[in-house]
Amino acid sequence: MFTINLISGFVQMKSHFICSIFSVLALGLWTPAQADTLYDIVVYGDSSGAVTASIDAQRRGLKVVLVSPVAFPGGMSASGLGATDFLGRQNTFGGIAAEFYQGVARAYGKSFVRSFEPSVGHKVFRQLLSDSKVEVVYNELLDREKGVRMNGKRIESITTLSGKTFRAKMFIDATYVGDLMAATGVTYTVGREPESQYGEDMAGVRRGDTTPRVHYGQKDKDHFVKEVDPFLKPGHPESGLLPYIVKNDGLANGQGDKKIQAFNYRVCLTSDPALRIPIEKPEGYREIDHELLLRNFEAGDKRMPALIEPLEGTGSKVDWNNMHAVGSDHPGANYEYPEASYERRREIEKHHQTYIRGFLWTMAHSPRVPESIRKRSAAYGLPKDEFTDNGGWPWMIYIREARRMVGDYVMTQHDCEGKKSAPDPVALGSFGMDSHCVQHFVTDKGTVQNEGVIWRVPPKPYGISYRSIVPKEGQCENLFAPITLSTSHVAHGSIRMEPVFMALSQSAAIAASLAIEKNVSVQKVDYSALKQSLLKAKQVVEYVPSPKAKR
């Protein structure tokens, strides 16, 4: 669900500079003297969870600082992901996550909303931080090579690329990519486990031409439903493949690999002529990059390749997400991202932006797009009143999956399906085990199909283990990783929801306070005491069905 993951290129980083200065002045300016300050907790993060963790710690009277690698708070919940996936189960989380969604609802004069504009999410996060008087330092990237100073099995301090050093008793990595976690040397993984590793029948490679395809009750959602030729010159394999299509080369269901599901930008678009910034053909546009989309239309697939969800407000804005065979996702273009340098990540982000802008422009202008879809697409543009310092484009790329820690408890498909229950839950998950396409591949028939798409809804909300957010026993003793937590690829697809990340991160802060109080490692925190503190903070760790709960 990154870090400065997020801001596409140096130009965008400059565009946030003024915003950053305001934020630092309002919420606390780092000074050289702080290098000598011993914090109770340092939260390093760009996610919504980074906000909830730092607020909880501050409210407990602890000395905490939120060190953000980006220029804004709230992660994806302030950068385009306005249609939040509750599946109707808003009673599965509480605490500061609930405060956030209540704040969003109040902004619209309502008691509950299912969606919201990015600017509203951004404003609510800033207000929560300000009200709690959290010290925040923005635009500080961890020095991943030599910026983590260890003293035995404990982090002593972290240093950013600008030279700022932060010392603390406890550290929370609340980034979407797990840069701090990785730099400490704890065990983690990237990619998909084979079926055999955890006995998951949804694990590893999932070929769309052989795997049963049921998604949101639609058998063929996110798959090709027509035969589409994958070759540069149709009917001629010797001509080579279109961009971003791979040979199957023995591709078999259940194989593990190091590939991850596709990223995109969750663009907020508007149909209001007074607000709409037209989508222009981007610099670097290549029609060949969108040939697969166009051939799919010409093969007879007339589905709108987008999940367009209305946002609360005037009614003109939508959260535009990927859907069906070829959409705003960019499968295969992100495999390097989790381990890439900051510079390489910026290149990948820029490439995604070019691709998605090109996709939107093609949808609105190409005569090869069905007229009804072309007209509908052309009605939308970027909103002038969202991401005003970035031309209406979201600040952050949607990192659906990156590194995942491997702890003493790995959350798997079996937890999600209720076949196994963690005895030490610190939050609940409830969303479907969901992975977007990992790659387009050539089937045995010589046509294109999607691989990696999975979806299965848990029978009921399930507990997420405390041990999944801390390193293995014997590894780092003062680190929490509530975003890049210990899960399989399959389980992560369910857990990776923004409300869950907020809840897990607050639980991490509560556990950190207990570890400090008892002077123990994060692995030795007493769960019975932790549970009492979680419940006091209105965290939800056990599911109690409500008559109003809907699926």
- The reported pLDDT for the residue numbered 32 is 60
Render pLDDT for 373-400 as a digit per residue (tens, 0 to 9).
Answer: 999 999 999 999 999 999 999 999 999 9
DSSP alpha helix (H) spans, 60-117: 95-107
Written as one letter, the residue type at 230 is: P
Give the separation between CA 510 and CA 497, rounded to whole angstroms.
20
Terminal-residue alpha carbon distance, the chain: 23
397 within 8 A of 2, measured Cβ to Cβ: yes
Greatest CA separation found in the chain? Answer: 69
Q: Cα 371 vs. chain centroid, distance in angstroms? A: 34
- The reported pLDDT for the residue numbered 89 is 63
- The reported pLDDT for the residue numbered 217 is 73
Q: Which pair of structure tokens corresponds to residue 190? A: 């990237």
- Residue ranges of the domains in the chain? 9-191+461-536, 267-390
Give the separation between CA 452 and CA 454, rounded to whole angstroms.
6
- The reported pLDDT for the residue numbered 211 is 78
Cβ-proximal residues to 305 (8 Å cutoff; 6+ apart), any chain: 293, 296, 322, 323, 324, 325, 326, 327, 363
Q: Give the closest residue to 487 by CA, choosing from 507, 473, 468, 500.
A: 468
DSSP alpha helix (H) spans, 417-526: 489-495, 498-518
pTM comes to 0.93
341 within 8 A of 182, measured Cβ to Cβ: no
Q: Which pair of structure tokens corresponds to residue 131? A: 């009200």
Give the separation between CA 546 and CA 90, rounded to whole angstroms.
10
Three-state secondary structure call for residue 448: strand
DSSP alpha helix (H) spans, 366-476: 371-378, 413-416
Written as one letter, the residue type at 407 is: G
DSSP alpha helix (H) spans, 1-152: 9-15, 17-27, 48-59, 95-107, 118-132
Give the separation between CA 382 and CA 275, rounded to whole angstroms.
8
Q: Report CA torsion sign: 1, 69, 116, 264.
A: negative
HSE, side-chain direction, 13 A CA sphere, residue 422? 29
Q: Cα 74 vs. chain centroid, distance in angstroms? A: 11
Low-confidence ranges of the chain (pLDDT < 70): 1-35, 86-89, 547-551
For 9-191+461-536, which CATH superfamily applies?
A: FAD/NAD(P)-binding domain (3.50.50.60)
- The reported pLDDT for the residue numbered 486 is 99
Q: Which pair of structure tokens corresponds to residue 93? A: 């989380």
Q: Cα 49 vs. chain centroid, distance in angstroms? A: 11
- The reported pLDDT for the residue numbered 546 is 72
In the 8-state DSSP scheme, what is residue 475? S
Q: Which pair of structure tokens corresponds to residue 73? A: 């708070």
DSSP 124-182: HHHHHHHHHT-EEE-S--B-TTT-EEEETTEEEEEEBTTS-EEEEEEEEEE-SS-HHHH
